[in-house]
């Protein structure tokens, strides 16, 4: 039986490929282009991404798409290709990279700015080049961050739920003004720079911290991290995940913050030790908690688990709290951002061929 949910999509020829997990044939559609430069397979592909990638490609490269995630079992799909294009939920650890290298893969590109999901050291040892998206629509991430903040502050999710059940009571829906509040931005890259005018427009005072001073920013006050923790009403994370930043938000750093602080994370889940955040939410130290990323999201986010047996007790407990808002790593998901990702990804393939 052909599994129609996982299609390899090229163009013109139809063929069958065996699913290495079930030995069941899957539909494979092959595209034949003229003057093809490089053959690349895209893992974890959504339908809208496929169309945008094909449009950006201009028939230059031989592109294969699959909705399946990259792992040790699906590396076989990369046979006879030169490049593998992944997303943040794909497994690009040492065992997978070794299998890709054995298949002759020369390049791995990720459709994201962050590369913390890729074992770069192993890739380098295997002679595989790595590339990421240098930047794409920082406004998409910034706007989603502010949307989460406003939804939390005005209890919009709870209000919508109540109204859908014809409960129009105002009990427990009292929020707060952003006007006059202090927002602390940790990391002052493209996304924070896009968030600054939005928060400014709400009348907020902006504090910022970055390991590299940003002298070109005139609308904020740069402070040390402890000062930012101490005086901010809202703290928003916009930094990469690495050995230095992992669990930057933990019990010790939370203790330095105002009681009732709002914490926002649209960067990487591993920046926050979730168990410590949950403890602080229960005590009231954290008043509002909005995340688009989660430290244990791999194998969980980007898929529908409503009817299967996949569970996460920590996340489940977190989401039961009325002052918590979780979104499924969707901050990047705008038409404009996806178009930019497609263009930048094809540029990477173009550059590798030269």
CA-CA distance, 101 to 117, in Å (whole number)? 17
Smallest CA-to-CA distance from 257 within 275, 292, 220, 283 is with 283
CA-CA distance, 332 to 344, in Å (whole number)? 14
Same domain, yes or no, for 107 and 178? no
CATH number of the domain enclosing 182: 3.40.50.720
Whether residue 343 lies inside any domain: the answer is: yes
Whether residue 264 lies inside any domain: the answer is: yes
Residue 313 makes CB contacts below 8 A (sequence gap 6+) with none
Same domain, yes or no, for 66 and 189? no
pLDDT tens readout for residues 163-218: 999 999 999 999 999 999 999 999 999 999 999 999 999 999 999 999 988 777 88
Same domain, yes or no, for 210 and 132? no
Same domain, yes or no, for 113 and 149? no
DSSP state of 332: T
Same domain, yes or no, for 175 and 293? yes
Check pLDDT > 90 for residue 135: no
pLDDT tens readout for residues 136-146: 899 999 999 99
Q: Cα–chain-centroid distance for residue 349?
A: 22
Same domain, yes or no, for 142 and 291? yes
Same domain, yes or no, for 71 and 198? no
Collapsed DSSP state (helix, strand, coil) of residue 51: helix
Q: What is the mean pLDDT of the chain?
A: 89
Whether residue 82 lies inside any domain: the answer is: yes
Whether residue 321 lies inside any domain: the answer is: yes
Same domain, yes or no, for 95 and 215? no
Whether residue 3 lies inside any domain: the answer is: no
Q: Between the CA of residue 22 and those of 30, 227, 313, what are the distances in Å?
A: 22, 55, 30
> For residue 12, what pLDDT is reported?
30
Q: Cα–chain-centroid distance for residue 81?
A: 26
| pTM given for the model | 0.85
Same domain, yes or no, for 175 and 297? yes
Same domain, yes or no, for 129 and 153? no
Active site residues: 268, 297, 329
Report the number of distinct structural domains present in the chain. 2
For the segment 9-30, the average pLDDT, to the nearest whole number, is 39
Whether residue 28 lies inside any domain: the answer is: yes
Same domain, yes or no, for 106 and 168? no
Q: What is the DSSP string of 11-24?
A: SSEEEEEE-TTT--
Q: Which domain holds residue 260?
A: 138-326
Reported as type and span, the H/E element at residue 160 is helix 156-164
pLDDT tens readout for residues 104-117: 999 999 999 989 99
CA-CA distance, 258 to 205, in Å (whole number)? 16
- For 168, the token pair is 């129009």
Same domain, yes or no, for 226 and 319? yes
Whether residue 120 lies inside any domain: the answer is: yes
Q: Cα–chain-centroid distance for residue 348?
A: 20
Smallest CA-to-CA distance from 265 within 154, 145, 94, 85 is with 145
Whether residue 2 lies inside any domain: the answer is: no
Burial of 24 (0-12, 13-18, 19+ CB in 10 A): exposed
pLDDT tens readout for residues 224-282: 999 999 999 999 999 999 999 999 999 999 999 999 999 999 999 999 999 999 999 99
């Amino acid at each position: 039986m052909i599994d129609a949910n996982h299609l390899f999509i090229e163009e013109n020829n139809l063929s069958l490929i065996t699913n290495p997990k079930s030995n069941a044939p899957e539909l494979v559609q092959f595209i034949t282009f003229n003057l093809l430069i490089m053959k690349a397979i895209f893992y974890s592909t959504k339908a809208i991404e496929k169309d945008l990638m094909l449009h950006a490609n201009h028939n230059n490269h031989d592109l294969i798409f699959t909705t399946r995630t990259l792992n040790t079992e699906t590396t076989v799909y990369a046979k006879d290709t030169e490049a593998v294009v992944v997303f943040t939920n794909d497994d690009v650890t040492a065992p997978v990279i070794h299998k890709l290298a054995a298949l002759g893969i020369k390049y791995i590109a990720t459709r994201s700015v962050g590369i913390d999901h890729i074992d770069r050291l192993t890739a380098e040892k295997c002679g595989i080049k790595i590339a990421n998206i240098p930047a794409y629509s920082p406004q998409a991430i910034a706007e989603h961050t502010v949307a989460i903040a406003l939804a939390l502050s005005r209890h919009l999710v709870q209000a919508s739920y109540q109204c859908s059940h014809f409960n129009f009571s105002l009990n427990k829906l009292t929020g707060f003004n952003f006007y006059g509040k202090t927002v602390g931005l940790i990391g002052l890259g493209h996304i924070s720079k896009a968030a600054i005018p939005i928060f400014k427009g709400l009348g907020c005072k902006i504090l910022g911290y970055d390991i590299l001073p940003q002298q070109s920013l005139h609308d904020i006050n740069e402070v040390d991290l402890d000062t930012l923790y101490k005086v901010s009403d809202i703290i928003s994370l916009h930094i990469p995940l690495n050995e230095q930043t992992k669990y930057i938000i933990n019990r010790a750093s939370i203790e330095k913050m105002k009681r009732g602080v709002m914490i926002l994370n649209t960067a990487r889940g591993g920046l926050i030790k979730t168990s410590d955040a949950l403890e602080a939410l229960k005590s009231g130290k954290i008043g509002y908690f909005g995340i688009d990323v989660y430290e244990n999201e791999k194998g969980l986010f980007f898929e529908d688990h409503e009817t299967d047996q996949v569970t996460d007790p920590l996340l489940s407990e977190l989401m039961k709290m009325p002052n918590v808002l979780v979104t499924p790593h969707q901050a990047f998901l705008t038409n404009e951002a996806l178009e930019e990702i497609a263009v930048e990804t094809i540029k990477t393939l173009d550059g590798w061929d030269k």
